[in-house]
Amino acid sequence: MDLTDKTILITGGTGSFGKACTEVLLRDHAPRTIRLFSRDELKQSELQARYPDESRLRFFIGDVRDRERLVRATRGVDLIIHAAALKQVPACEYNPFEAVQTNIMGAENVVSAAIANNVPRVIALSTDKAVNPVNLYGATKLCAEKIVTQGNAYATDSESRFSNVRYGNVVGSRGSVVPIFMAQALAGTVTITDERMTRFWITLPQAVEFVLSSLRLMEGGEVFVPKIPSMRVIDTADAIAPDAERVFTGIRPGEKLHEVMLTEDESRHAQELDDRYVVVPEFPTWRSAPYTHGPPVAEGFRYSSDSNDRWLTAQELQAMLPSLQLVA
Protein backbone atom coordinates (compact mmCIF):
# COMPACT_ATOMS: atom_id res chain seq x y z
CA MET A 1 0.00 0.00 0.00
CA ASP A 2 1.46 3.31 -1.10
CA LEU A 3 1.08 5.80 1.75
CA THR A 4 1.47 8.87 -0.46
CA ASP A 5 -1.41 11.31 0.08
CA LYS A 6 -3.14 8.87 2.45
CA THR A 7 -4.94 9.74 5.68
CA ILE A 8 -3.64 7.52 8.50
CA LEU A 9 -5.09 7.04 11.98
CA ILE A 10 -2.85 5.67 14.75
CA THR A 11 -4.65 4.58 17.91
CA GLY A 12 -2.36 4.90 20.91
CA GLY A 13 -0.68 7.56 18.81
CA THR A 14 1.22 9.14 21.72
CA GLY A 15 2.67 5.83 22.99
CA SER A 16 6.15 4.50 22.26
CA PHE A 17 5.20 2.89 18.97
CA GLY A 18 2.86 5.69 17.89
CA LYS A 19 5.52 8.37 18.29
CA ALA A 20 8.18 6.33 16.49
CA CYS A 21 5.78 5.46 13.67
CA THR A 22 4.74 9.09 13.27
CA GLU A 23 8.38 10.12 12.91
CA VAL A 24 8.99 7.52 10.19
CA LEU A 25 5.80 8.36 8.30
CA LEU A 26 6.59 12.08 8.27
CA ARG A 27 10.23 11.55 7.31
CA ASP A 28 10.07 8.72 4.78
CA HIS A 29 6.55 8.85 3.37
CA ALA A 30 4.22 11.55 2.12
CA PRO A 31 0.90 11.09 3.91
CA ARG A 32 -1.79 13.69 3.55
CA THR A 33 -2.67 13.57 7.24
CA ILE A 34 -1.75 11.55 10.33
CA ARG A 35 -4.45 11.46 13.00
CA LEU A 36 -3.05 10.64 16.45
CA PHE A 37 -5.77 9.15 18.62
CA SER A 38 -5.09 8.83 22.35
CA ARG A 39 -6.59 9.70 25.71
CA ASP A 40 -3.59 11.56 27.16
CA GLU A 41 -3.86 15.30 26.54
CA LEU A 42 -0.45 15.99 28.12
CA LYS A 43 1.36 13.64 25.76
CA GLN A 44 -0.56 15.10 22.85
CA SER A 45 0.55 18.62 23.78
CA GLU A 46 4.14 17.41 24.15
CA LEU A 47 4.03 15.81 20.72
CA GLN A 48 2.54 18.97 19.22
CA ALA A 49 5.46 20.89 20.69
CA ARG A 50 7.89 18.48 19.02
CA TYR A 51 6.38 19.25 15.60
CA PRO A 52 5.36 22.93 15.87
CA ASP A 53 5.35 23.54 12.11
CA GLU A 54 3.95 20.19 10.95
CA SER A 55 0.60 20.79 9.28
CA ARG A 56 -0.09 17.11 8.53
CA LEU A 57 -0.68 16.10 12.15
CA ARG A 58 -4.13 16.00 13.77
CA PHE A 59 -4.62 15.28 17.47
CA PHE A 60 -7.76 13.42 18.53
CA ILE A 61 -8.42 12.98 22.25
CA GLY A 62 -10.39 9.78 22.64
CA ASP A 63 -10.46 6.26 24.03
CA VAL A 64 -10.79 3.08 21.98
CA ARG A 65 -13.51 2.08 24.45
CA ASP A 66 -15.67 4.83 22.90
CA ARG A 67 -17.01 3.47 19.61
CA GLU A 68 -18.82 6.67 18.66
CA ARG A 69 -15.63 8.70 19.00
CA LEU A 70 -13.74 6.15 16.89
CA VAL A 71 -16.39 6.31 14.18
CA ARG A 72 -15.95 10.07 14.07
CA ALA A 73 -12.15 9.82 14.05
CA THR A 74 -12.03 7.27 11.23
CA ARG A 75 -14.13 9.18 8.71
CA GLY A 76 -12.16 9.59 5.49
CA VAL A 77 -9.29 7.43 6.76
CA ASP A 78 -7.32 5.16 4.39
CA LEU A 79 -5.38 3.20 7.01
CA ILE A 80 -5.69 2.44 10.72
CA ILE A 81 -2.67 1.30 12.73
CA HIS A 82 -4.17 0.01 15.97
CA ALA A 83 -1.52 0.34 18.68
CA ALA A 84 -3.63 1.35 21.70
CA ALA A 85 -3.55 -1.17 24.57
CA LEU A 86 -3.10 -1.69 28.27
CA LYS A 87 0.11 -3.71 28.26
CA GLN A 88 1.62 -3.75 31.75
CA VAL A 89 1.15 -7.31 32.97
CA PRO A 90 0.81 -6.54 36.72
CA ALA A 91 -1.67 -3.70 36.05
CA CYS A 92 -3.79 -5.94 33.83
CA GLU A 93 -3.79 -8.70 36.47
CA TYR A 94 -4.92 -6.27 39.16
CA ASN A 95 -7.46 -4.51 36.93
CA PRO A 96 -8.74 -7.32 34.71
CA PHE A 97 -11.92 -5.77 33.37
CA GLU A 98 -10.12 -2.55 32.52
CA ALA A 99 -7.79 -4.63 30.34
CA VAL A 100 -10.77 -6.39 28.77
CA GLN A 101 -12.49 -3.09 27.97
CA THR A 102 -9.43 -1.57 26.33
CA ASN A 103 -7.74 -4.54 24.68
CA ILE A 104 -10.76 -6.64 23.66
CA MET A 105 -13.71 -4.24 23.41
CA GLY A 106 -11.36 -1.61 22.01
CA ALA A 107 -10.33 -3.96 19.20
CA GLU A 108 -13.97 -4.66 18.42
CA ASN A 109 -14.68 -0.93 18.33
CA VAL A 110 -11.80 -0.32 15.92
CA VAL A 111 -13.10 -3.07 13.61
CA SER A 112 -16.66 -1.72 13.76
CA ALA A 113 -15.57 1.88 13.11
CA ALA A 114 -13.43 0.79 10.16
CA ILE A 115 -16.30 -1.12 8.59
CA ALA A 116 -18.74 1.74 9.21
CA ASN A 117 -16.44 4.13 7.34
CA ASN A 118 -15.16 1.63 4.75
CA VAL A 119 -11.52 2.06 5.82
CA PRO A 120 -9.50 0.01 3.30
CA ARG A 121 -6.73 -1.28 5.57
CA VAL A 122 -6.44 -1.94 9.32
CA ILE A 123 -3.36 -3.49 10.90
CA ALA A 124 -3.29 -4.23 14.64
CA LEU A 125 -0.32 -4.71 16.93
CA SER A 126 -0.19 -7.94 18.93
CA THR A 127 2.44 -9.61 21.10
CA ASP A 128 4.15 -12.91 21.76
CA LYS A 129 2.27 -12.89 25.08
CA ALA A 130 -0.86 -13.75 23.06
CA VAL A 131 0.54 -17.20 22.24
CA ASN A 132 -0.43 -19.81 24.86
CA PRO A 133 -1.16 -16.96 27.28
CA VAL A 134 -0.48 -17.36 30.99
CA ASN A 135 -1.55 -13.86 32.04
CA LEU A 136 -4.58 -11.68 31.40
CA TYR A 137 -2.71 -9.28 29.14
CA GLY A 138 -1.77 -12.13 26.82
CA ALA A 139 -5.31 -13.51 26.91
CA THR A 140 -6.81 -10.16 25.95
CA LYS A 141 -4.38 -9.79 23.07
CA LEU A 142 -5.21 -13.29 21.87
CA CYS A 143 -8.89 -12.30 21.81
CA ALA A 144 -7.99 -9.08 20.01
CA GLU A 145 -6.10 -11.04 17.32
CA LYS A 146 -9.15 -13.24 16.74
CA ILE A 147 -11.48 -10.22 16.59
CA VAL A 148 -9.28 -8.42 14.08
CA THR A 149 -8.88 -11.50 11.89
CA GLN A 150 -12.57 -12.30 11.90
CA GLY A 151 -13.37 -8.67 11.18
CA ASN A 152 -12.77 -9.61 7.56
CA ALA A 153 -15.86 -11.84 7.64
CA TYR A 154 -17.97 -8.90 8.79
CA ALA A 155 -16.54 -6.69 6.04
CA THR A 156 -17.26 -8.84 2.99
CA ASP A 157 -19.54 -6.17 1.49
CA SER A 158 -16.91 -3.44 1.93
CA GLU A 159 -13.28 -2.90 0.96
CA SER A 160 -12.06 -3.02 4.58
CA ARG A 161 -9.41 -5.64 5.32
CA PHE A 162 -7.83 -6.48 8.68
CA SER A 163 -4.53 -8.12 9.69
CA ASN A 164 -2.29 -8.43 12.76
CA VAL A 165 1.42 -8.19 13.48
CA ARG A 166 2.83 -10.17 16.40
CA TYR A 167 6.30 -9.50 17.77
CA GLY A 168 8.37 -9.74 20.96
CA ASN A 169 9.71 -7.33 23.57
CA VAL A 170 10.46 -3.85 22.22
CA VAL A 171 13.71 -2.39 23.48
CA GLY A 172 13.22 1.08 24.87
CA SER A 173 9.45 1.03 25.15
CA ARG A 174 7.78 1.94 28.44
CA GLY A 175 8.37 -0.79 31.03
CA SER A 176 10.93 -2.70 28.94
CA VAL A 177 13.90 -4.28 30.65
CA VAL A 178 16.63 -2.03 29.18
CA PRO A 179 15.60 1.25 30.90
CA ILE A 180 14.83 -0.73 34.07
CA PHE A 181 18.33 -2.25 34.11
CA MET A 182 19.86 1.16 33.32
CA ALA A 183 18.14 2.69 36.33
CA GLN A 184 19.08 -0.23 38.57
CA ALA A 185 22.71 -0.06 37.43
CA LEU A 186 22.99 3.40 38.96
CA ALA A 187 22.03 1.90 42.31
CA GLY A 188 24.52 -0.95 41.89
CA THR A 189 22.02 -3.84 42.04
CA VAL A 190 20.16 -5.50 39.18
CA THR A 191 17.17 -7.76 39.82
CA ILE A 192 16.74 -10.79 37.56
CA THR A 193 13.81 -13.15 37.85
CA ASP A 194 15.50 -16.30 36.49
CA GLU A 195 18.89 -16.78 34.85
CA ARG A 196 17.39 -19.23 32.32
CA MET A 197 14.87 -16.71 30.98
CA THR A 198 14.94 -15.78 27.27
CA ARG A 199 13.03 -13.21 25.26
CA PHE A 200 12.56 -12.23 21.63
CA TRP A 201 14.23 -8.93 20.86
CA ILE A 202 13.18 -6.11 18.52
CA THR A 203 14.02 -2.42 18.48
CA LEU A 204 11.43 0.29 18.06
CA PRO A 205 12.59 1.30 14.54
CA GLN A 206 12.53 -2.38 13.52
CA ALA A 207 9.00 -2.73 14.88
CA VAL A 208 7.81 0.29 12.88
CA GLU A 209 9.42 -0.99 9.69
CA PHE A 210 7.93 -4.44 10.24
CA VAL A 211 4.42 -3.01 10.62
CA LEU A 212 4.74 -0.85 7.49
CA SER A 213 6.23 -3.67 5.42
CA SER A 214 3.48 -6.05 6.60
CA LEU A 215 0.96 -3.46 5.50
CA ARG A 216 2.30 -3.76 1.97
CA LEU A 217 1.92 -7.57 2.09
CA MET A 218 -1.44 -7.93 3.81
CA GLU A 219 -4.46 -9.33 2.00
CA GLY A 220 -6.67 -9.57 5.09
CA GLY A 221 -6.65 -12.11 7.91
CA GLU A 222 -2.94 -12.75 8.33
CA VAL A 223 -0.81 -12.61 11.47
CA PHE A 224 2.71 -11.47 10.53
CA VAL A 225 5.56 -12.68 12.75
CA PRO A 226 9.11 -11.31 12.29
CA LYS A 227 12.27 -13.39 12.37
CA ILE A 228 14.15 -11.65 15.17
CA PRO A 229 16.90 -12.67 17.60
CA SER A 230 16.50 -14.02 21.09
CA MET A 231 18.51 -12.96 24.10
CA ARG A 232 18.97 -14.28 27.59
CA VAL A 233 17.83 -11.76 30.18
CA ILE A 234 21.02 -12.33 32.16
CA ASP A 235 23.06 -11.38 29.07
CA THR A 236 21.02 -8.18 28.84
CA ALA A 237 22.02 -7.38 32.42
CA ASP A 238 25.67 -8.18 31.64
CA ALA A 239 25.62 -5.76 28.73
CA ILE A 240 23.96 -2.88 30.59
CA ALA A 241 25.30 -3.27 34.13
CA PRO A 242 28.37 -5.52 34.03
CA ASP A 243 29.62 -4.45 37.45
CA ALA A 244 26.31 -4.43 39.32
CA GLU A 245 25.35 -7.02 41.89
CA ARG A 246 22.84 -9.67 40.68
CA VAL A 247 19.78 -10.46 42.78
CA PHE A 248 17.59 -13.33 41.58
CA THR A 249 13.97 -12.81 42.60
CA GLY A 250 12.14 -15.72 40.98
CA ILE A 251 9.57 -15.70 38.17
CA ARG A 252 6.72 -13.28 38.77
CA PRO A 253 3.05 -14.26 38.49
CA GLY A 254 1.93 -14.39 34.87
CA GLU A 255 5.48 -14.67 33.54
CA LYS A 256 7.05 -17.39 31.34
CA LEU A 257 10.62 -18.65 31.18
CA HIS A 258 10.48 -18.47 27.38
CA GLU A 259 8.15 -16.88 24.85
CA VAL A 260 6.62 -18.45 21.75
CA MET A 261 5.60 -16.56 18.61
CA LEU A 262 4.47 -19.49 16.46
CA THR A 263 3.09 -22.76 17.84
CA GLU A 264 3.16 -26.23 16.31
CA ASP A 265 -0.59 -25.96 15.69
CA GLU A 266 -0.27 -22.61 13.95
CA SER A 267 2.60 -23.90 11.80
CA ARG A 268 0.13 -26.16 9.99
CA HIS A 269 -1.38 -23.07 8.38
CA ALA A 270 1.65 -20.77 8.27
CA GLN A 271 3.88 -19.70 5.41
CA GLU A 272 7.49 -18.55 5.43
CA LEU A 273 9.23 -15.59 3.85
CA ASP A 274 12.89 -14.58 4.15
CA ASP A 275 12.30 -12.23 7.06
CA ARG A 276 8.99 -13.35 8.58
CA TYR A 277 6.35 -16.01 9.06
CA VAL A 278 2.77 -15.47 8.00
CA VAL A 279 -0.01 -17.23 9.89
CA VAL A 280 -2.96 -17.43 7.52
CA PRO A 281 -6.50 -18.06 8.80
CA GLU A 282 -7.76 -21.63 8.60
CA PHE A 283 -11.25 -20.72 7.39
CA PRO A 284 -11.07 -17.42 5.47
CA THR A 285 -14.71 -17.24 4.41
CA TRP A 286 -14.08 -13.80 2.89
CA ARG A 287 -11.59 -15.14 0.31
CA SER A 288 -11.98 -17.36 -2.73
CA ALA A 289 -8.25 -17.53 -3.54
CA PRO A 290 -5.58 -19.15 -1.35
CA TYR A 291 -2.86 -17.10 0.33
CA THR A 292 0.42 -17.23 -1.56
CA HIS A 293 2.93 -15.38 0.59
CA GLY A 294 5.50 -18.19 0.55
CA PRO A 295 6.10 -21.90 1.04
CA PRO A 296 4.44 -23.67 3.98
CA VAL A 297 6.26 -23.87 7.30
CA ALA A 298 7.64 -27.31 8.16
CA GLU A 299 5.26 -29.64 9.95
CA GLY A 300 5.62 -29.37 13.73
CA PHE A 301 7.69 -26.18 13.60
CA ARG A 302 7.72 -24.10 16.79
CA TYR A 303 9.19 -20.61 16.95
CA SER A 304 10.30 -20.14 20.55
CA SER A 305 12.77 -17.76 22.19
CA ASP A 306 14.78 -20.64 23.70
CA SER A 307 15.15 -22.63 20.46
CA ASN A 308 15.77 -19.70 18.13
CA ASP A 309 18.62 -19.95 15.62
CA ARG A 310 19.40 -16.24 16.01
CA TRP A 311 20.88 -14.91 19.27
CA LEU A 312 21.96 -11.48 20.41
CA THR A 313 25.05 -11.38 22.60
CA ALA A 314 25.88 -8.92 25.37
CA GLN A 315 28.59 -7.41 23.16
CA GLU A 316 26.15 -6.87 20.29
CA LEU A 317 23.67 -5.20 22.62
CA GLN A 318 26.38 -2.92 23.98
CA ALA A 319 27.13 -1.81 20.43
CA MET A 320 23.43 -1.06 19.90
CA LEU A 321 22.84 0.92 23.11
CA PRO A 322 23.98 4.37 21.86
CA SER A 323 21.46 4.23 18.99
CA LEU A 324 18.51 2.80 20.90
CA GLN A 325 15.44 5.01 21.26
CA LEU A 326 14.52 4.92 24.93
CA VAL A 327 11.00 6.34 24.97
CA ALA A 328 9.13 7.72 27.94
The predicted-structure confidence for 216-264, as pLDDT tens digits, reads as follows: 999 999 999 999 999 999 988 888 888 899 999 998 888 899 999 999 9
Report the predicted TM-score, pTM, of the whole model to 2 decimal places: 0.94
Q: Which of 6, 43, 129, 256 is catalytic?
A: 129
> In this model, does residue 60 exceed pLDDT 80?
yes
Sign of CA dihedral 37, 85, 22, 325: positive
Q: Among 110-114, 118-122, 182-186, whose mean pLDDT is lowest?
A: 182-186
> In this model, does residue 122 exceed pLDDT 70?
yes
Q: Tell me, what's the pLDDT at 327?
A: 45
Residue 19 appears among annotated catalytic residues? no
Question: Which among 144, 136, 139, 137 has a CA at the least distance from the CA of 165?
Answer: 144
Confidence band for 74, pLDDT divided at 50, 70 and 90: very high
Give all domains of the chain, ordered by start, each with its CATH number: 7-167+203-227+260-303 (3.40.50.720)
Q: Among 74-78, 79-83, 87-91, 100-104, whose mean pLDDT is lowest?
A: 87-91
Strands laid side by side in the 276-279 sheet? 57-61, 33-38, 7-11, 79-82, 121-127, 161-167, 223-226, 276-279, 270-272
Confidence band for 324, pLDDT divided at 50, 70 and 90: low
> In this model, does residue 323 exceed pLDDT 90?
no
Confidence band for 173, pLDDT divided at 50, 70 and 90: low
